[in-house]
Amino acid sequence: MKGIKIVLAAALAATASCASANSFQFNFNGARSYGQWGGELSAGYRVQFAIFDITPLAGSFLSKRNHGYDDRLDSQGFEHCFGPGNTIANDHYCKGKTRGFAALEAGVSIPLAARVAVGARYIGSEVKPYGSVAVPLFPKLSVKVNGGQHYVAAGLNLGL
């Protein structure tokens, strides 16, 4: 029994020592969110333990606003977002050109192959889950693809 405790303690110490792989992460993506195409820029800090990691991120989604939705008053004087066909639409369609977001990813890295992660994005007033796959091009540069409900993004991830 004492031998098992020593092995577990050694494994825990080895995992803790791998935390030195922590790094700043920068994402540069082309993205589509709620029917809008645009660019997505984000930055975060990845905390890594062996092959597992957690990455909190903050960023912004930049898009054009000429997609057929606008804010105006209804017949009773209340402001709403109106879309094609003069129908009331969800407010996120009429938001400004830049929307901030926060995200949290939990991932597993397969050395020299890929990083697979699940995450959640808080944008507007909603939290949306998504999945992510990143394949390394160079030691600090990866091609990354994210996908979730009403959301898809592809671009580059730079780790420093």
Per-residue pLDDT of the chain (160 residues; tens, 9 = 90+): 455 444 344 444 444 444 457 999 999 999 998 777 899 999 999 999 999 999 999 999 988 765 677 788 888 888 888 888 888 887 777 766 788 999 999 999 998 899 999 999 998 888 999 999 999 999 899 999 999 998 999 999 999 9
Domain residue limits at 103: 22-159
Domains in the chain, number: 1
| Cross-strand pairs, 32 | 37, 152
Long-range contact set of residues 145-152: C-beta below 8 Å, sequence gap at least 24: 146/29, 146/31, 146/119, 148/121, 150/33, 150/34, 150/35, 151/31, 151/32, 151/33, 151/34, 151/121, 152/31, 152/32
CATH code of the domain containing 44: 2.40.160
Q: What are the residues facing 122 on neighbouring strands? A: 102, 127
The whole model's pTM is what? Answer: 0.70
| Domain membership flag for residue 142 | yes
Query: Does residue 5 lie within any of the structural domains?
Result: no
Let me know if residue 9 belongs to a domain.
no
Q: Assess if residue 1 is contained within a domain.
A: no
Q: Minimal CA–CA distance to 120: which of 133, 101, 135, 134?
A: 101
Task: Identify whether 110 is part of a domain.
Answer: yes
